[in-house]
Chain A
Amino acid sequence: MTIYNRFLKLFFAIFLCLGISSCASVPKGFLVPSKDYLEKRQLQMRQYDTTDQEKIITSVAGVLQDLGFTLDASETQVGFVAASKKADATNVGQVFIVALLGGANAVGNCDSSQVIKASVIIKPSLDSKKTVVRVTFQRVVWNMRGQINRLETLKDPALYQKFYDSLSKAIFLEAQEI
């Protein structure tokens, strides 16, 4: 009987905690800049030796089209362009390993398609003598069942390098690293 009582108390306490905390699922501190934000800036930003922002923003739109993106939104007066692109995310190696370990059913969890989002900001540098371009990439990956597998910010330097190489070609100016 005392065991029964003890269990009752335990359940009571657990449910009390659940009842109080069930809706408090928003974590704190997610708007604090991470410590590596300067490195991220270095990865995502380039300066161009021109004050002709119109030229840069049209080149950016052109480069995004060259890379297969379609434009979603823009506000040229603030120097902002957003674009996205759907792409295949199937990884033959992943499908093979998952099929080997988990059988045909597990293959449904493999990456299947993705949407890559790019957002570019063009603004004058602090001394107003140059133009700063900053691009950020995000992607959403779906699995073969059509569920979202992953949400992530892309950090691969090669991706950013490719974007700026194309942009530099487009505006015939050498990008200078900050």
Chain B
Amino acid sequence: MRKLKNYCGIILLLFSVMALCGCATSAVSALGSNESQVKLRSIQTRAFDTTDKKKMMQTVISTMQDLDFVIDKADLMLGSVTGTKFLGYAVVTMTVIVRPRGENQLLVRANAQYGVNSVEDPATYQDFFTALEKAIFLTAQQVD
């Protein structure tokens, strides 16, 4: 019984250390993410059957505006749109890149940050692409 209590104490100590340093970051995390690169790509990317990059960008912008984002930057050549949204005291930043895929498709890739965390939840991105689909009247296709 005494031994068990000692173990409990040690485990308690370990967990408190884990809880306290759970969010600690190092320089390594500058280029790292929790998900694998391939998986993250497929979560963040959809293909659309259109080649009108400008129209797609304008639709991305208006979808982001519907989601309360204020657009900070856009670049037609790069196909990028960056916007910021305030959620209480948290700042959400999102960049969307539109680029051609083959002859008759466009790839749309979105990545969002919530405060200091990158968003890696598939459902969150799915919400964005659902809104985008509705705005452009095209179906978002999953990319392998």
- Measured CB to CB, the residues of A under 8 A from B are 5, 8, 11-12, 15-16, 18-19, 22-23, 25-34, 37, 40-41, 44, 72-73, 75, 77-80, 82, 117, 119, 121, 123, 134, 136-138, 148, 151-153
Contact = CB atoms under 8 A, between A and B. Distances in A.
B40 interface: no
A40 B66 contact: yes
Contact of A80 (B67, B69, B71): B71
Given A77-B76, A79-B58, 15 more contacts: A11-B12, A12-B8, A26-B114, A26-B119, A26-B124, A29-B124, A30-B85, A30-B124, A31-B127, A31-B131, A32-B67, A33-B131, A73-B73, A121-B71, A138-B70
Interface in B113-132: 114-115, 117, 119, 121, 123-125, 127-128, 131
Given A8-B12, A25-B115, A31-B131, A136 B124 contact: no
Which label, helix, strand, loop or mixed, suits the secondary structure of the B interface? mixed
B70 A31 contact: no
Interface of B: 5, 8-9, 11-12, 15-16, 18-19, 22-23, 54, 57-58, 61-62, 65-76, 83-89, 91-92, 112, 114-115, 117, 119, 121, 123-125, 127-128, 131
Given A31-B128, A75-B76, A41 B12 contact: no
A41 B66 contact: yes
A18 B63 CA distance: 36
A39 to B, nearest CB: 11
